Amino acid sequence: MKFSIHLGIPEILALWTKLKKDNSEGAISKSDARLYKKWGKAMKLLAEDPFYPSLNTHEISDLTKRYGVKVWQSYLENKTSRAMRMYWVYGPDQMAITIIGLEPHPEDKKNGAYDKVSLADMPPLQQ
């Protein structure tokens, strides 16, 4: 069964919209094109199977404790300096995933590395 993917906070939706537009118009930079391709692939994999091996999905307990809902991190890339990570939560519906952040991997997990990630306002899960 496939999950629907939602872009949860205005900044995430705006970034995806800009990347998509720039790509379709051929006005995208090399670095943005790389991000667009990797992020698009990661979202497709996430929709099919949130725990697909290359996503290396795992819970971020600091964010889960702060927000009271399980927050997950999945890889867009690995083994590169400041590799991009996608942060997400389940919801608002049972077969939905909401992306709530896109950040480079924090260099130092101890010094508030996850403070930049903010959750979207989501209605409660519908039963």
Q: What is the pLDDT of residues 105-123, one digit of tens each?
A: 765 555 566 776 666 655 5
112 domain residue, yes or no? no
Number of domains in the chain: 1
Number of H helices, E strands in the chain: 3, 5
CA distance 83 to 14: 21
Strand partners, 98: 6, 89
* 22 sits in which H/E element: helix 10-25
17 domain residue, yes or no? yes
Q: What is the pLDDT of residue 99?
A: 92
116 domain residue, yes or no? no
Q: What is the pLDDT of residues 13-69, one digit of tens each?
A: 999 999 999 999 999 999 999 999 999 999 999 999 999 999 999 999 988 888 888
126 domain residue, yes or no? no
Task: List Cβ neighbours of 124 (8 Å cut-off, separation of 6 or more).
Answer: 91, 92
Q: What is the pLDDT of residue 68?
A: 86
Q: State the CATH number of the domain containing residue 23.
A: 3.30.2310.20
117 domain residue, yes or no? no
The larger pLDDT score, comparing residue 87 to residue 82, is at 87
Q: Which domain holds residue 40?
A: 4-104
84 domain residue, yes or no? yes
